[in-house]
Structures are given as C-alpha cells and as structure tokens.
Amino acid sequence: MEENKAKETPKKKFNYIVKFWLIYFIGILLVIFLFYAIANQYFGPMPSFKQLENPESALASEVISSDGKILGTYFIENRSNVTYRQLPPNLVNALISIEDVRFEQNSGVDERALLRVAYGLITGQHKGGGSTITQQLAKNLFPRGRLNTLQLVVRKFQEWITAVKLERYYSKEEIITMYLNTVFYGHNAFGIKSAAKTFFDKEPDSLNLQESALMAGVVNRPTAFSPILHPKAAMERRNLVLAQMYRYGYITQHVYDSVKMLPLGVENYGVLSHNTGEARYFREFLREKMTEWCKTHFKTNGKPYNLYTDGLKIYTTIDSRMQRYAEEAVREHLAGNLQPEFFAHWKGYSNAPFDFQGTPEEDSIQVQKIMNDAMKRSERYRLLRLDGLSEDSINKVFNTPADMKVFSWRGTIDTIMTPMDSIRYYKSFLLAGLMSMETTTGYVRAYVGGIDFRYFKYDHVTQAKRQVGSTFKPFLYTLAMQEGEYSPCFRIPNIPYSVPLPDGKYWTPNNADSKDIGKEVTLKWALANSNNWISAWLIRRFSPQSVIQMARNMGVTSYIPPVPSIALGTPDLSLYELTGAMNTFADKGVYIKPVFITKIEDKNGNVLERFTPDKKEAMSEVTAYKMIKLLEGVVESGTGIRLRWRYGYRNEVAGKTGTTQNQSDGWFMGIVPKLTTGVWVGAEDRSVHFRTITLGQGANMALPIWALYMNKIYSDPSLGIRRSDVFPKPLKNIDIQFDCAKYDKEHKKNTFENDSTDHF
C-alpha cells in the first residue's frame, strides 16, 4: 500500500508540473492574443499614427502683442502649446521625480512599477501608481467615460500598446513636452503655458524651482492639490515633490531645506477668461474680426478655421507697454479726478445725473423714460421675459432689493440695491475711449474701449459714434488750406456770418466766447480758439459737400448730413474714424487705414496671412504741414494750452479739443511726430453731463488723459518716442510764413474780400 503511494507521488508531481506549464503557456498565449487583438482593434479603435503625431485637442488661439507678450486667448479649453526649449529644467526634473523616476530608462511601461502595484493589491499596502508619463499621455488619446471592469482592463492594455508606440515614434523630450502641453491643472488651465499664466502670471520658462515643483505636484489631482482651493494640501504636495527631487539628486539638501519653507507664491493668480487680462476691449473687437476671417479661410481638410480650437497665433500691432500706459492714464484721470468731481457736481440734485434743462416735472418724465428703456435693454429683462413674466411682475423684480456686485473705481462692491437703482448708478459713470496709432505705419499701439469690460461692454473706439464737436473743424480748415490755398496767417474779420439754406433761410451760429469781436483774426487763431464765426465763413466759401468729400478722403465713412452746421461738429463719428483721419496730417497727407493685425499663423507656425497698411493720398504734403502748424497753435495759445501750463509740454504737439452740445462729449486729438492719439470722454446717455463748460469741455475731460498717457510714453526710452522728435517739413521748398507777426509785415494790405451776401 505504501509502495503504491510512493509510486503515485512522482506521477502527481509530474501532472502538477505539466498543468502548471500548460496554464502558464496558455496564459502567455492568451496575453499575446489579447495584445494582438487589441493592436488589430478587435476590442475597439486604437489611435492612428496620425492621431499620435497630431493629438486632437482643442488649442486656444493666442493674441500676441507687437513686443511678444500674450494679451489673451480665445478658447473652449484654455490650452496653448510650448516647445521643449521653453520648459525650465526644474519643471522637467520635478515631474520625473514625482510621476516617473525611471522615465529615461523605461520604454513606456515600467515593469517594476507594475509589480509594485500588484504587490499593493495583494497586501493592501499601496505604494504609488504604476503608470508612466508616457502611459498618462497615451490615456489622453482615448475618449473619457464610465467603463465596466472588462472595459477598464482592455483600456489599460490599449494604453500600454499606445505608450509603446509613442516611445517608438518620439524622443523622451518630445513625450514630456506633449504631456505638459495636454495635462489639466485645474482652474480652466490646460497645459503648462496656461497654468503658468493662471497661477503665476508668467511664461513657463520663467518658473522658478518652487513654482515648478508645485506645477508638477498639481497634475496628479488638480482639485485636491489646488493652491487656491486647498493651499495646505498644495503645500504638502509641493514639498513632497521637492523631497523626491532631493532623493533622486536633482537638488541638494541645502536647497531642499530652504525652498520647502517658502510660500506657494500664487499672489498673481487669475483665471483667464474673456473678461480678464489685458486689452479686453481690443480682444473683443478682434474676436469679431477673427470670427469673420475664419469663415473665409480653410484648413487642408476643407473645414474653416475655428478660432476657439485651432490654436491660431494672431500677431497684433498693440504694444503691451503702451496699452498698459493708456489704461493707467484713463484710470488715473477718471478715478482720481473727473469722476469724484462729477459726483460732487451733482450732489443734492433730485434728477441727478440727468439734465434736460426743462422744468423738474418735465425732467422727471424724461428720466423715467430713459430708465424704462434701459430696463428693457438689460439681460435681466430679457431672461424674465423668456420665463413668461408679465410687465407688472418684471417691474416688481426690478424694484425689489437684491444682493449684487457693482463696479466702483476702488474695486467691486458687494451691496444690496434694486436692479433699477443699479441701472441709475451705472449711468452716473463717465466712460472713456482711447486709440493711439503710429503715424507712418498706421499700427494701432493702444486701444482702450472703456473703463472696465466686465461691467461696461460697449466699445467707445469702434462701436460708439458720438457728436465730435470742434474736432471736426480740421476737415474744414484742411479744405481751406488745400483748395483755397490760404495761409495759416490769413486774416478774416471776427464777426457773425450767415450761410444761406436751400429753403431761403439763413444759418447763423453763435460763438462760444467774446474774444476779439470785430477784429481781424488769423485762421490759426480761429482754429486754436474754436471760433464758430470763422467756421461759418469757411463753410460758406467751400460748401458742406466739399467738406464731406475731404472727410471721406481722410477715411471717414459714417454718414454726414450735407448741412452747414457740420462746420461746428454736429456729425456723429467713431473715435476710430476720427483718430485715423487726424493721423493724415502727421503722415504728410497720406491716409492710412488703422492696422490691428500684422500676420496670422496656424498652430504649427505656418503663416496663413500677412497684413499690410492700406494707404491713399488725401491731400498734398504742403497742406498737411500747414494743418500741423495750425493745430500746433491750439496747444501754443488756444483751447489746448493747459498742455503747456499744467503738464509742462514744450515739445512739438499738434492737437484739437472738442466739446459738444451741453458738454455731453469731451474730445482731444493729440499728434506728435511718431504718434497720433484720440481720446473721448462722456457718459452712456447724452443727457448725463457736467452743467458747466468749465468742467465739461474737452480740455478738462479728455486732454488730461492724453497728457498722462504721453508722459508715461516719454518716460519709457525703450519705446523710441522722444520729446525731441520734430514734424518733418515737406521735401519741396515752401514759401509759407507761419509766424503771423512777420506775415502781417509782409502783407500789409489785407486780401480779405468782403462778400456782399454776408448777413450780420
């Protein structure tokens, strides 16, 4: 019996060994078959080589300034790519230390890490994950969604195969770059470029050691390790990354001990959105232009470009430094001076800030109409109407106090007020627009469409058209210099003039002041002092139609009624049009259509289109130079003289102020040899304004913004715009006397001919 058992034992052992190896080889065959089946897409599609080379991810389009700074992006996912050279070594080392320490040695799958995971599953002692950086990158090539256990196993095998393919096709540098470009960092930041901007307001190559360690740590669990939402957890995670870097020899003990004590350094954190960042009004203007451009420009697959997903690079003419100076100048003048002055000016008035110059009862009716119209134009009203509410119910909502955040120059205010009161509150704010362009290229260097894009969306550079006042007079004087061949020192009696109308009546304007009534004054003096009587004389000599044609030659496209009153600036024009037109004088009579974009590239850097200035001759070079001299008179002794006595400008400046009816709009056009800048200031409603010309004139509302802006520019030598710059004289010799005292001696006999049709 014992002998039989002894004989059976070797036989059983043999059977066990056979079964073991049979199961082993069958397992290997099954694994091989599984890999074969997955690779041949029996269990679902695998990423193609084309997908591996060009992973389909939504790339943000970047708006880039002329000095190379990213002003903002258009995106669905806020993602922009960088190259390996743009990655700081500390960031690469930090990522490898915490995510895949054998990244340089493995071929996409880390066997040791997988064994560690298996051991953790058996023992319950988990000591880290098993995915390599390449596997994590491969994971991004598959669609997201809930998977059952079998699907999850298959997906893991798919990721392994894809990781091996990635290792075959790409270098380690390319893989880690693709990984950092695709990973999500939380707070709407996809990729390291967006993350660096969001958390630190930096470019990736400027990240220091502690910032790099934080970014490498965040990718594991963006929400749990968010330095904004969970700073304590983020600090612990960052220091763990630093410890790993020390452990693997990337940093020394001394560096580790020092850096781990530093704060997170996210003081400059700001979620990137269409409402934040620099040049917001310009970016919104550009968004509309680029949306139209995309409709008519197509990719190689025949589909039109998508501004939000195709990673276009839009190179603009905006200079980020000048843009910042422009925004600062608007803020300094309005927040520090004009708006407080406006509030004080209207304090105690029941209908403030509205002024209709009627009886209190009449004004109240007008105010109610404006408020009701504003209510019906609001987004809140639109949504309530969509919900089916009646007018009475909507009125009740608008007159019920509610929690809200409102704008102030000191920052957002949390308050309680009715929506109707908030409408009136916002109507009390003075708004502004500024556009600044290079004289010879037409490049727009600064574009400020308003005071805060989050609360005031309307763009006062290109969208708004406001009455331009005396800033229209240079068109009339240009005609006189060009067609009439007058000299700036030509004299005309300063008396009322009447212009005949088609119906047989006459138009006779009033004058703003009583300077030198009855005396003979020069055209230079008349323009400098915005004299209405001389403008009436000129419009009669040259006709409204001729003035309109001159404005058209200088780039004005808005409708201008052919009536004599345009001589005083009754037309409504945009700041964009007016600034472009005034620039013609500085560019020797050549109109340049303002340029906003220099080129557009695709995500791979291929140039899709270049843009060149659109130019046309509007007047002779001599006429343009005459006008520069006339406009210099505005600053030397006219309505712009405060540039001299208050702001200390002694350099060559040509300018023109503008003030409209009831002081509703204040303008200043300032021209220096290399830069033409237009500024407008006013309220949303024309019935909201200063009640006095002293406070409401363009010299008080708009001119100071120009002065502050130019002071900042002159203080920045890197811009190459200097006070010593001079306006170039015409190439041909001109025999024109601009010193009117000398001119008078040379022309003792006045050539003025008194028209018998004048009406006094």
DSSP 175-224: HHHHHHHH-B-STT-BHHHHHHHHHHSS-GGG--HHHHHHHHHHTTSTTT
Residue whose C-alpha is closest to residue 541's, from 488, 589, 497: 497
Residue whose C-alpha is closest to residue 87's, from 217, 205, 216, 210: 205
- Average the pLDDT over 249-277 and give the result: 87
Q: How would you classify residue 318: left for phi > 0, otherwise alpha for psi between -120 and 50, otherwise beta?
A: beta
Does this chain's domain 84-271 share its CATH topology with 431-602+612-730?
A: no
- Average the pLDDT over 753-758 and give the result: 44
- The predicted-structure confidence for 330-386, as pLDDT tens digits, reads as follows 999 999 999 999 999 999 888 888 887 777 778 888 889 999 999 999 989 999 999
Which amino acid appears at position 29 of this protein?
Answer: L
Please tell me the predicted confidence (pLDDT) of residue 557: 97
Which amino acid appears at position 263 of this protein?
Answer: P
- Average the pLDDT over 97-114 and give the result: 75
Residue whose C-alpha is closest to residue 438's, from 633, 270, 555, 596: 596
Euclidean distance between CA atoms 499 and 476, whole angstroms: 15
Please tell me the predicted confidence (pLDDT) of residue 757: 43
Q: What is the DSSP letter of 681?
A: E
Please tell me the predicted confidence (pLDDT) of residue 5: 53
Which alpha helices (H) appear in 337-412, and where do they start and end?
Answer: 339-346, 360-377, 379-386, 391-398
- Average the pLDDT over 656-675 and give the result: 96
Please tell me the predicted confidence (pLDDT) of residue 49: 52
Euclidean distance between CA atoms 387 and 600, whole angstroms: 43
Give residue 760's pLDDT band: very low, low, confident or very high (50, 70, 90).
Answer: very low
CB atoms within 10 A of CB 368: 10
Q: Is the pLDDT of residue 137 over 90?
A: no
**Measured at the alpha carbon of residue 175, what is the angle toward residues 227 and 154, in degrees to the nearest 5?**
90
Please tell me the predicted confidence (pLDDT) of residue 152: 65
- The predicted-structure confidence for 601-622, as pLDDT tens digits, reads as follows 999 899 999 999 999 999 999 9
CB atoms within 10 A of CB 703: 29
**Measured at the alpha carbon of residue 283, what is the angle toward residues 612 and 375, in degrees to the nearest 5?**
135
Q: Is the pLDDT of residue 302 over 90?
A: yes
- 265 φ, ψ to 5°? 75, 40
Q: Is the pLDDT of residue 54 over 70?
A: no
Give residue 544's pLDDT band: very low, low, confident or very high (50, 70, 90).
Answer: very high
Please tell me the predicted confidence (pLDDT) of residue 758: 43
| Pick from 112-116, 254-258, 558-562, 637-641: least confident | 112-116
Q: Is the pLDDT of residue 39 over 90?
A: no
CB distance 640 to 656 below 8 Å: yes
Which amino acid appears at position 719 of this protein?
Answer: L
Homologous superfamily of 431-602+612-730 in CATH?
Answer: DD-peptidase/beta-lactamase superfamily (3.40.710.10)
Euclidean distance between CA atoms 317 and 758, whole angstroms: 50
Which of 17-31, 43-57, 142-156, 435-449 shows the highest mean pLDDT? 435-449
- Average the pLDDT over 56-61 and give the result: 80
**What proportion of the chain, given as a percentage, has pLDDT over 70?**
86
Which amino acid appears at position 459 of this protein?
Answer: D
- The predicted-structure confidence for 213-251, as pLDDT tens digits, reads as follows 999 999 989 999 999 999 999 999 999 999 999 999 999
Residue whose C-alpha is closest to residue 510's, from 531, 527, 492: 531
Euclidean distance between CA atoms 177 and 174, whole angstroms: 5
- Per-domain boundaries in the chain: 13-42, 84-271, 431-602+612-730
Q: Is the pLDDT of residue 759 over 50?
A: no
Euclidean distance between CA atoms 6 and 2, whole angstroms: 6
Please tell me the predicted confidence (pLDDT) of residue 754: 45
| Pick from 29-33, 316-320, 655-659, 679-683: least confident | 29-33
Please tell me the predicted confidence (pLDDT) of residue 355: 84
Which of 38-42, 104-108, 509-513 shows the highest mean pLDDT? 509-513
- Token reading at 617: 């001759």
- Token reading at 93: 């080392």
- Average the pLDDT over 410-433 and give the result: 94
Please tell me the predicted confidence (pLDDT) of residue 145: 59
CB distance 584 to 694 below 8 Å: no
* Third-level CATH fold of 84-271: Penicillin binding protein transpeptidase fold (1.10.3810)
Mean pLDDT rounded to a whole number for the chain: 87
- The predicted-structure confidence for 470-507, as pLDDT tens digits, reads as follows 999 999 999 999 876 688 888 999 999 999 998 889 99
CB atoms within 10 A of CB 302: 6
